[in-house]
Structure 1
Amino acid sequence: MDFLTRNAESQSFQESKLVLHPRELGLDPEEIPLFPLSILQKDAACLPTPLVTAAREVLAPCTGTHIRMKLPGTSALPNGAPVYMERIADALPAHLLIENSVANVKDRELTLNVVNVSGRYAQIPRGAPLAIATLCEVITEEDEGAEE
């Protein structure tokens, strides 16, 4: 997602933004706010935490793999919705580096590219809860027309 970039001026979790570049989309510049998962949980009452599934449970040193994150059945995120992984908690050891910061929802799943940056074998906890810190608000053409 080349047209999605993080607003480098804001390092604060609460102020994080994604910027749509108008040149690539033919739109006026717009900032799309990101929302902490806790706000979505308040709106959706009891939103379950997504779970990690992996193609491999153990990564050799300096190798990578794709990790799939299954969204709960109650998730209202449609296919193609961009999700920004700002902070991952309680799922991956610190020596596993997540290379992609934005993933798109596809069949209630997100795919993360994970690399073992340590000199040792690393285990991926299968079925561990994965906390998504922020989710992109999905703005459609109808929503933009309604705001005007």
Structure 2
Amino acid sequence: MKFSIAAIAGLASAVAAASLPARFSLVADGNKPVLTDGQYAYIGGNVTAQLQKLILSSGPTGGLSYTAKDAVPTAFQTLYIIEDSVSPIQLTIPHSGATPKGANTTAFGVNEQGQLTQGGKAWFAIDGYGDVAEKQVYWYGAHNSEYEAAGLKVVAV
């Protein structure tokens, strides 16, 4: 079987497109930045003393870490989801890797549309009801009609 240079280059770019950048932020539908209070992620609202832009660093196993602005480097936190549930995506406590039962801290990636995935699934959502400016981001691992899909686009920083 012969491969042309163009085919190999195309394959290499497809693999590169599926890799998370070393550092990135997330932008939701409507170009709204994803923010954090140090525990949960939110779409909408403004950067304040309580909310900072969620800037993540990717690891070789698909793990994602976050270090708050002005925090010491060892105060990093790990992003996790609770599999098979509809629950907020969360960050571990600084200096701790402790997670609850059913948590998954690995297998984060990016799909061909540039959206954040976990286990190949872009199952992120927000509470679809109410006029609250800040909508909390959830992992949508089980069915619940209260939630609305939220595409989280990966943007290198």
Shared fold (TM-score greater than 0.5)? no
Task: State TM-score, norm by structure 2.
Answer: 0.27
Task: State TM-score, norm by structure 1.
Answer: 0.28
